[in-house]
Structure 1
């Protein structure tokens, strides 16, 4: 069982994390503008060694995740600059619903990278047999909410079911992507 992945879009490569990504990943997961929106179990990372430890833990866990779950790096095709991270994971507490989430370094915001990477991940997840994907966002996280909508995700309500935090919930199913591509 493995969740190794490499996807290519027009501008991006979605690939496995490496320990060599630690310094660049710190620009994402150490940025307060990003960390404030992370799930309660993921806090801001404060130094390269801590980031390397986080990446190591993600890399060690990857082969044991229920496919198509995983955590991947988003890199620019040209030059390979690390722009962000993307994951597909089972949402707590019941681990029934698959969540798509993304994080970009702040200087990469506003270029459509999250939508481009998210769209590729959605297509890939549906090819793996996933019947629906969810995205959750805190109500004031307007960037994440806008990205979920650009991905064609439908708002399905608000809940405290996941992470015991009030969240906006968005969903997409394979039939939604068929309508979107027409």
Structure 2
């Protein structure tokens, strides 16, 4: 059983045992660029027009902060930081699944952070936050079929495979994973 994430304030800060999910700061541009420009991450992301320079990344982080406050489609973008060092180790996003009121989660990790369970820990916390704090009925993850790491993370979060669909832009396919309130594991909570 996993404990509920601690929501620190309405500023969308979420704490787990090892991580802090917090809004991106413009000063995080280098860390964000290291994550999003990594070919191992970039190949799975859409759109493909992600920033390639620190200046472009700063502008994107500013855009995300504005979107997080004003957009009806995006719930939020979070930097994932190691709580003991404050080093940004990953990124999370939560927005409305295309054409629905359901939410879709996405994640990416810095190369040196992979294999430590950070994506699962952050993803689980964000799913719980979405369901308990935002009242989401379900949260989806859209995973390209060849992305074995993302598929495994979705499953470790507790998501179940639902179907495979074509991309909205006509290019390629993706697998749909879903978790609902009743799927959350509470057995270890005290």
Please confirm whether the aligned pair reaches a TM-score higher than 0.5, indicating the same fold.
yes
- For structure 2, the residue ranges without an aligned partner over 5 or more in a row are 1-9
Q: Determine whether 1:103 maps to 2:105.
A: no
Using the alignment, how far apart are the partners of 1:162 and 1:123 within structure 2? Answer: 27
Q: Which residue of 2 aligns with 1:11?
A: 18
Q: Which residue of 2 aligns with 1:123?
A: 128
**Large movers: runs of 4+ above 6 Å:** none
| Superposition TM-score, scaled by structure 2 size | 0.87
Whether the 8 Å CA contact 2:104–2:140 is kept in 1: the answer is yes
Using the alignment, how far apart are the partners of 2:44 and 2:73 within structure 1? Answer: 25
Change (3 A) 1:133 1:56: same
Q: Which residue of 1 aligns with 2:44?
A: 37
Deviates more, 1:143-152 or 1:58-67: 58-67
Q: Which residue of 1 aligns with 2:163?
A: 157
**Greater percentage in strand:** 2
The CA RMSD measured in Å over matched residues stands at 1.7
- For structure 1, the residue ranges without an aligned partner over 5 or more in a row are none
Change (3 A) 1:163 1:170: farther
Whether the 8 Å CA contact 1:35–1:43 is kept in 2: the answer is no
Residue among 82, 93, 96 paired with 1:90: 96
Using the alignment, how far apart are the partners of 2:124 and 2:100 within structure 1? Answer: 23
Whether the 8 Å CA contact 1:68–1:125 is kept in 2: the answer is no
Deviates more, 1:83-92 or 1:14-23: 83-92
Change (3 A) 1:166 1:67: closer
Deviates more, 1:42-51 or 1:164-173: 42-51
Q: Which residue of 1 aligns with 2:54?
A: 48
| Residues matched between the structures, number | 176
Change (3 A) 1:108 1:72: same
| Superposition TM-score, scaled by structure 1 size | 0.91
